[in-house]
Each structure stands twice: as C-alpha cells, then as structure tokens.
Amino acid sequence: MDTVDFYRKLQQTEDLKKLVGTSLKTHCQNLKEDTKNASDFSSAQQVIAEVYVALLSSFEGKAKEALVQRLNENATMLTTATENRSAFLKSIKTK
C-alpha cells in the first residue's frame, strides 16, 4: 500500500466517522425527545380524560350510572393512595 492509498483510506475512515457521528447524534436526539414525550404526564392525563369523556358519552341509563360510580371509586382509591404516599414520604423526611 502506497501513501496515496493510505491517505485515501484515512480520508474514507474520517468521512465514515463523521457520517456515523452525525447519524448517531440525530438518533440520540430523537430518542431523547421520544422519552421526554413518553414521560410527559400532563399530556397523558389529558388523553386519559378525553378517553373517559368519550367512554361516558357512549353509555346511557343504568350502565352510565354504574360506570360513573366505578370511576368515582377508582378516583377515590387513587386519591387515598396519593395522600398515603405523601404522608409516608413526609414521615421519612422528618425522622
């Protein structure tokens, strides 16, 4: 291998590094955005609320009342669990 071939290979390797580095940076940025969007709880809550509204709109009569009661029970359990968690964490911090 002469010096011209060596430098040509070296240049190809550097070009490949730049191309792979740019591609990897783009993929990492996309992954970071996707992860951020996946952990965005406020938008997830909004979607869940919209689904519940659509679900409630599709029921009528006693079925709707039963569904509302079940959702109310679940909300109460969730609120209680959240309060218990907060109280538990506060008890740890004070000790």
Per residue in 35-87, pLDDT (tens digit) is: 676 666 666 677 777 777 777 777 788 887 888 888 888 888 888 888 888 78
Residue 79 CB partners (closer than 8 Å, separation 6+): none
Q: Please state the pTM of the whole predicted model.
A: 0.39
Both 53 and 17 in a single domain?
no
68 lies in the same domain as 47:
yes
Are residues 85 and 55 located together in one domain of the fold? yes
For residue range 2-15, list pLDDT tens digits in order. 888 888 888 888 88
Per-residue burial over 62-72, b if 16 or more Cβ lie within 10 Å, else e, is eeeeeeeeeee
Q: Which domain holds residue 85?
A: 41-95
Count of domains in the chain? 2
